[in-house]
Amino acid sequence: MKIKALKGVQDILPETIGQWDFLVSCSKNLFSVYGYQEIKIPLIEETNLFIRSIGEQTDIVEKEMYTFIDKGNRKISLRPEATASVVRAYLEHNLNQQGLAKLFYIGPMFRGEKPQSGRNRQFYQLGVEVLGSYSAYLDAEVIILAAEYIKKLGLKNFTLLINTVGCTEDKLNYSKLLKTYLEDKKDSLCENCNNRLGRNVLRILDCKRPSCKKIVNEAPQITNHLCEDCTDHFNDVKNALDEIKINYTVDPYLVRGLDYYTKTVFEIAHKDLGAQNAICAGGRYDNLIKDLGGPQEGATGFAFGIERLLLAITAEKTDLSIKKQPTIYAIGLGSVAQKKIFQIVQTLRSKNIRLTTSFEEKSLKAQMKQANKLNCEYTLILGDDELEKDSIMLRDMQTGEQELITINNLTTNLNKRLSSL
């Protein structure tokens, strides 16, 4: 029996790596323009970190974490997200010493969710966190950064949804109000929503069932029940976005599946992705630094899901203009030629020329076929005739033209041809 990859985890194959690297390098360039520095955080953390940050009664913590007891009897979890770890690192390494900390990260996260298109158990996030400020401008800045990034990828079919969930007090008051409203309609809500009613009522706003959605659409809106400070903050964020002419829609029922959010929350939905259409999500979390043992400081951030971005790029047939690096296929016919081609290949590679070869005792025809399959721009062919003349045959795979080149001139000749591609 062959062993297959686990359900919900994906191999990223070489054919996708060009797009993947483009997404990553584009994010690194843009994020650094906005003053972010990269941080690499561990894949594993004490389970408690996630319980204290994401929230004990969230789906992630209740049902989805990969948790185990290690040999030292410690409870460890694979990270389901990165914000908690970034805050832990910020506090552990006193990253607040230089004022505002602006950090970005790229890496895999793990959640034991039911797999479907765009929902994996191991998925990659690319995100930013700004720690140490309450400014509404920073909320706007991270939202603008997310929108700019998507535009840089050439994506168009997306919508930016924003909302506020208020401060802790606002959240509590609104939860009570919502609960009172929903209690009456309990019988029409799905089982999941009924479960959430007593424990995490805000999550009912997230239910995708049409019958629940209908009830939610008439529920009280948090934006009408905010304290003055949270109302002002939300207005400031919207005004800052308006100044830069960023298109957004206020979705008064937008809530997030992680408990740490306060005030601004946002989501970027892609129109072609079906049920799992959030390509990016984020928001402010003004209590998390304190909840994890630090001072009372504000923070905000977001994360993109890389697999979902790739799905969006495929759906929109976006041309990322990824330039293929030219490759040459080297063929040695017979054992003497093979020995010589082995040396030639090494010399050329030391001059940064990209070559591949199979070293198989196969016919010229079979090897040419292989070069074609690999999309090589040129082949180098060394047989007895060429060996005798201290030369090698160079074939242009596109035109079929061939030229006999002396081995001494090979590097110069190839560099000239490759630079003109």
Residues making contact with ligand HAM (CB under 6 A)? 81-83, 111, 113, 118-120, 123, 125, 127, 129, 257-258, 278-283, 301-305, 307-308
Query: Rounded to whole angstroms, what are the CA distances from 75 to 68, 107, 245, 292?
Result: 6, 22, 47, 17
The candidate with the shortest Cα–Cα distance to 104, out of 44, 43, 47, 30, is 30
Residue (288 or 355) nearer to ligand HAM, CB = 288
Structure tokens at 404: 């006999």
Closest distance of CB 2 from ligand HAM, Å? 25
At residue 273, φ and ψ (nearest 5 deg) are: -100, 0
Residue (102 or 111) nearer to ligand HAM, CB = 111
At residue 345, φ and ψ (nearest 5 deg) are: -60, -45
Strand locations in 200-277 (E)? 249-250, 264-270
Closest distance of CB 128 from ligand HAM, Å? 7
Closest distance of CB 109 from ligand HAM, Å? 7
Closest distance of CB 374 from ligand HAM, Å? 32
**H-only helix segments in 39-98:** 47-54, 59, 83-92
Residue (109 or 222) nearer to ligand HAM, CB = 109
Residue (207 or 405) nearer to ligand HAM, CB = 207
Closest distance of CB 84 from ligand HAM, Å? 8
Contacts of 235 (CB under 8 A, 6+ apart): none
User: Where do we find the tokens 């009172």?
Assistant: 180
Residue (112 or 252) nearer to ligand HAM, CB = 112
Residue (132 or 301) nearer to ligand HAM, CB = 301
Closest distance of CB 346 from ligand HAM, Å? 42
Closest distance of CB 105 from ligand HAM, Å? 9
Q: Which residue is nearest to ligand HAM (CB)?
A: 305
Q: Do 202 and 177 form a contact (C-beta atoms < 8 A)?
A: no
Residue (103 or 240) nearer to ligand HAM, CB = 103
Query: Rounded to whole angstroms, what are the CA distances from 307 to 155, 278, 352?
Result: 14, 11, 32
Q: What angle do CA 116, 207, 313 make, to 5 degrees?
A: 40
